[in-house]
């Protein structure tokens, strides 16, 4: 009996982690034609859920993602190409709906924003560090006694080793 508990716990954890994603596409959403369904799934995996923002609409359980999956399947059944389906959804939701948006002026923020934030943060941390760093102090001048000892040491150096 004690051996079944870890297995049951593992099954429960796996179901909780991967269950919602596996069940995101409802059976009633699926197309009867396996080729069209495969196309719809391929297209859906390239589209971002605008609610979840970090997963595609095929894996999202959000109601808006379900609506977007239905739209994709409707457009596929209507005979649209993959690019036409994506263009239709971009027209409705903007380039943000694409998991890999095109590189153009209105998507520069999506492409270069994270790097710009990182560079600004690094510059800010560097400036703060340099401001807080204590200035190097000039060494104190030699006392008279130290100067005499230095002169004596230098006088004792063999010829050819003079500084």
112 in the same domain as 75? no
User: Which stretch of 4-8, 77-81, 100-104 has the lowest confidence by average pLDDT?
Assistant: 4-8
- Contact in structure between 43 and 76 (CB atoms under 8 Å): yes
- Residue 123 counted as domain residue: yes
pLDDT, tens digit (0-9, with 9 covering 90-100), for 38-91? 999 999 999 999 888 789 998 888 899 999 999 999 999 999 999 999 999 999
The CATH number given to whatever domain includes residue 92 is 1.10.8.640
The pLDDT of residue 24 is above 80: no
As given in the structure block, the two tokens for residue 87 are 């263009």
52, 84, 99 - which closes a domain: 99
76 in the same domain as 38? yes
107 in the same domain as 95? no
Q: In degrees rounded to 5, what are phi and psi of residue 48? A: -85, 140
- Residue 152 counted as domain residue: no
- Residue 145 counted as domain residue: no
From residue 52, alpha-carbon distances to 26, 56, 73 in Å are 18, 8, 20
74 in the same domain as 47? yes
**% of the chain surpassing 90 pLDDT:** 33
84 in the same domain as 32? yes
Q: How many CB atoms lie within 10 A of CB 30?
A: 15
Its pTM stands at 0.55
Total number of domains constituting the chain? 2
User: Rounded CA gap, 113 and 5, in Å?
Assistant: 47
Q: Annotate 88-121 with DSSP letters as a single string.
A: HHHHHH-GGGBSS---SGGGHHHHHHHHHHHHHH
Mean pLDDT of the chain: 81
111 in the same domain as 90? no
| Average pLDDT value for residue range 33-42 | 90
88 in the same domain as 108? no
- Residue 9 counted as domain residue: no
- Residue 154 counted as domain residue: no
User: Residues for the chain: how many in total?
Assistant: 163
90 in the same domain as 119? no
For residue 160, give the DSSP letter.
Answer: T
Q: In degrees rounded to 5, what are phi and psi of residue 121? A: -65, -45
124 in the same domain as 82? no
- Residue 71 counted as domain residue: yes
34-44 vs 82-93: helix axis angle to the nearest 10? Answer: 40
Instruction: Give the residue numbers spanning the domain of 95.
Output: 24-99
As given in the structure block, the two tokens for residue 57 are 């609409």
- Residue 157 counted as domain residue: no
29 in the same domain as 94? yes
């Amino acid at each position: 009996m004690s051996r079944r508990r870890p297995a049951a716990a593992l099954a429960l954890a796996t179901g909780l982690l991967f269950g919602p994603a596996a069940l995101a596409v409802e059976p009633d959403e699926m197309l009867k034609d396996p080729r069209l369904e495969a196309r719809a799934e391929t297209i859906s995996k390239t589209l971002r859920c605008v609610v979840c923002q970090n997963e595609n609409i095929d894996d999202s359980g959000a109601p808006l993602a379900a609506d977007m999956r239905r739209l994709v399947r409707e457009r596929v059944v209507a005979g649209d190409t993959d690019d036409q389906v994506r263009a239709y959804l971009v027209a409705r939701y903007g380039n943000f709906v694409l998991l890999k948006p095109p590189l153009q002026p209105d998507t520069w923020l999506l492409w270069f924003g994270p790097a710009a934030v990182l560079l600004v943060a690094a510059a800010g941390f560097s400036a703060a560090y340099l401001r807080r760093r204590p200035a190097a102090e000039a060494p104190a001048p030699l006392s008279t006694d130290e100067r005499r000892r230095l002169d004596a040491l230098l006088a004792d150096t063999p010829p050819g080793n003079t500084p």
